Structure 1
Amino acid sequence: MNILMICTEKLPVPNIRGGAIQTYIGGVAQLLSKHHKMTIIGRSDPELPDEETVDGIRYIRFDSQGVLDIYMSHIVPYLESSREVYDVIHIFNRPKMVMPVSSVRPDARIVLSMHNDMFNPNKLSKQEGDAVVERVETIVTISNYIGSEIVKYYPQAESKIRTIYSGVDLSRFAPWKQSQSALRERDSIRAQHNLGNKKVILFVGRLSRNKGPHVLVRAMSELKHTDAVLVIVGAAWYSDNHISDYIAYLRAMAEKSPIPVITTGYVQASEVHKWFCAGDVFVCTSIWEEPLARVHYEAMAAGLPLITTARGGNPEIIRSNNGVIIQNPEDPSEYASHLNSMLSNLGGARQMGLQGRKLVEEHFTWNHVAGNILDVWSRVKAASVSSVDEEQPEERNE
């Protein structure tokens, strides 16, 4: 089949600036291209040409300035003028794209992948939402939580929804106890930051209040392990190291912490795995209803035990004793209690981490993700052939 993927307007593909959706597309694109002809539309970037073919995948990039309307003002005319016929158009996280794309490609089979709650009535009108649900063949969701939110607003969507969890590169993220390269990365980054044999509590993510790292800093006041250190990896936005008011506040808190707190600033996507190698416990502090943060997969692949929150899709990743769930993400004491327990029994914590690694190997590799997407596309194609057959008049024997 001839497949077109349309990424969002925020960040480019490949994921040279980071981004969960961009990482997802980058993780599966090469695997998918072994089976189908692939074109990917994404945002332009100074470091990437507007059009290129890499490893058989065609990339087309348009200016967006991070604004959907500007992005669409290029995509729609392009699709209208292009003679390329696509069997499936796979749109990522922008239900608002569906009807404009459909207007110039009325015969296209459209699949929509949802990584956030973009069907929320505050983001999408009921009239447009109804039209989108009717138009698309399948709505792929990053977690059961996102699917349930869509169904809450649009019950008629239920039969079209399919959860496909994200994935991770097992070769990049590996437990340091089982990988010589991961051990070297661990030793190197610990030496760079004078961490020695300290117990490293790791947070990785965008630094904003709804991500909750300030609660984790507060929890350090109740930590019983003076040989611990908290490392906060991230910035206000991808590839952006400006000091927001929140980051200034976070760093001021960190300076007063009885437990050392390191804030790294922005770390490139190609380098972030090193911090996972260096960690002992991974903590996701999401206060908002997180769709399901992909850092969970990276932490599990690196063999780290998880502490995450009962928000959105995050609890869906806690299985087979690979971590614990914080019920009240705004309570520092709850984090401190679990951290004290894990750091008092690092052997047990590492066993939890290895359970997570096993889960990733069994369910959350890019091969698993690509296989599930291929299944969606094949079902869409089969439905297309079936509908065409039904429209053909039966032959009669005269």
Structure 2
Amino acid sequence: MKVAMICTEKLPVPPVRGGAIQTYIAGIVDQLGKHHDITVIGTTDPMLPADERVRNVRYIRVNGQGVFEIYAEEIRQLLQTQTFDIIHVFNRPRLIPLIRELCPQARLVLSMHNDMFDASKISREEAVKAIQEVERIVTVSDYVGSVIAALFPEAASKLRTIYSGVDLQTFHPWEQSQNARQVRQALRSQHQLNGKQVILFVGRLTPKKGADILVRAMNDLSKRHSNIALVLVGGSWYSVDKVSDYVAYVRSLADRSPVPVVTTGFVPAEQIHHWFWAGDIFVCPSQWEEPLARVHYEAMAAGLPFVTTKRGGNAEVIIGGNGLLVEQPEDPLAFSEKLHQLLSNRDLQRKMGAAGRQLALERFAWDRVANEVRAVWDGLH
């Protein structure tokens, strides 16, 4: 079958500038390309050609400039010249009515990675039309599906959770390769982290991601542990190193922290795994109803125990003793308490990290994600 996978207008595929949706598509597309004629449609980028074939997959990149209306018009023009059996749209339900008008015979699938059915992002009329026209709505967590079903009960029978995945060759425990050992040692030496237990945050530095709460947790934690450091990996936006007001606030907190705090700024996607090798405990201090942050999969694959928040879908990846859950994410002391449990018990850290790695191997490989997406497509007949 001829299948189009339409990404969002924000960032290109492959994820040369990061992005969870872009990483998801890149993780599964080669496997899917062995079975179907795949075209990935996404936004342009100076680093990438407008039209290319990589292995079995064609990439067409149109002007998006991060603006939905511009991107939608480009998609409209493209679909007037192309025909597809299946069109799989990622996180843009507003595109569905437009696509249906242009492609009356195509089978439509929608993947939802966050709250794009919220009333502030789509009119009720557009949302109802989108749900009517698609045959399946794939979500990255049960939480995302439950929110959609609560808003639009008619969507319930079309919902299917397919958890994301991770590159198990790139993200692996640092003990498993000489290269990883060297990278770990180099980063820890460069940032004066030798001899310390390193607490790691990876994500955008925005209020809803909660880095400030984590920095404030160090005030209490430092009273119980002297050999710790905190590393904050990320910038204010994908591939941007601008110092926003919030970044400046976090850095001012870091400057006053009794614990050494390293702020790396933006790190390119192809280097992120280096920091997972350098860390000892991972923390996702999300303050918002997070769909399910993909950094959890990366932490598990890297063999790190993790602490996450009872927000959105994040708790769905705590399985079989691989992590700890903070039930009051707005309270720095709640993080301090969970981190204290781990920092006080190296054996618990090792057990949790090993459980996470095993879980990643068993459940979160990209091949599993690709097979489940393919099953959705094949089930449309």
TM-score by length of 1: 0.94
2:373, 2:195 → 1: CA distance? 42
Listed one character per residue, the Cα deviations across residues 365-397 of structure 1 (whole Å, up to 9, x for unaligned) are 1011001001001001x2xxxxxxxxxxxxxxx
Amino acid paired to 1:15: P
Q: Offset at 1:189?
A: 1.6
Deviations 1:321-377 (A, max 9, x none): 101110011101111111111011122112101101111111111011001001001
- Residue number in structure 2 paired with 1:260: 260
Task: Report the alpha carbon displacement of residue 126 of structure 1 after superposing the two structures with TM.
Answer: 1.4
Q: Is the 8 A contact 2:34 2:56 kept in 1?
A: no
Give SS of 1:95's match.
Answer: coil
Match of 1:126 among 124, 127, 134: 124
Please provide the CA RMSD for this pair.
0.9
What is the SS of the residue equivalent to 1:238? coil
Pair 1:87-2:85 in alignment: yes
Determine the C-alpha separation between the residues in 2 that align with 1:188 and 1:101.
50
Aligned-partner Cα distance in 1 for 2:98–2:83: 17
Matched, 1:304 2:304: yes
State the SS of the aligned residue for 1:146: helix
Determine whether 1:319 maps to 2:327. Answer: no
Mapped to 2, the partners of 1:182 and 1:347 lie a distance apart of 22
Q: Aligned with 1:94: secondary structure? A: coil
CA distance in 2, matches of 1:262, 1:306: 19
Larger displacement relative to structure 2 (186-195 or 167-176): 186-195
Which position in structure 1 is the counterpart of 2:140?
A: 142
2:379 counterpart SS class? helix
Aligned to 1:156, which of 136, 139, 154? 154
Q: 3-state SS of the aligned residue for 2:269?
A: coil
Q: Give how far 1:53 is off.
A: 0.9
Amino acid at match of 2:97: M
Residue in 2 aligned with 1:105? Answer: 103
The residue type paired with residue 85 of structure 1 is T
User: What letter corresponds to residue 30 of structure 1 in structure 2?
Assistant: D
In the alignment, structure 2 segments of 5+ residues that lack a partner are: none
Aligned equivalent of 1:351: 351
1:235 aligned onto 2:235: yes
Q: In the TM superposition, what whole-angstrom CA distance separates every residue of 1:255-308 from its partner, at most 9, and x where no partner exists?
A: 000001000000000000000011110000000000000000000000001100
Secondary structure of 2:94's match?
A: helix
| Alignment match, 1:209 | 207
Residue type matched to 2:13 in 1? V
The residue aligned with 1:23 is 23
Partner of 1:11, secondary structure, is: coil
Determine the structure 2 residue equivalent to 1:393. Answer: none
Higher mean C-alpha displacement, 260-269 vs 172-181: 172-181
Find the aligned partners of 1:24 and 1:335 in 2 and give their Cα distance: 29
- Maintained 8 Å contact 2:328/2:334: yes
> For 2:99 and 2:346, how far apart are their aligned partners in 1?
52
Letter of the aligned partner of 1:104 in structure 2? L
Letter in 2 for 1:314: N
> What amino acid does structure 2 have at the position aligned with 1:20?
A
Instruction: Please state whether the residue corresponding to 1:118 is helix, strand or coil.
Output: coil
Percent identity reads 53
Normalising by structure 2, what TM-score? 0.98
Deviation per CA, 1:76-119, whole angstroms, max 9, x where unpaired? 01101x1x431110000000000101110011100000001111
CA contact (8 A) 2:2 2:38 kept: yes
Instruction: Please give the secondary structure, in 1, of the residue aligned with 2:71.
Output: helix
Letter of the structure 1 residue corresponding to residue 371 of structure 2: G
Name the residue aligned to 1:269. 269
User: Letter of the aligned partner of 2:135 in structure 1?
Assistant: E
The 3-state SS of whatever aligns with 1:66 is: coil
Deviates more, 1:182-191 or 1:114-123: 182-191
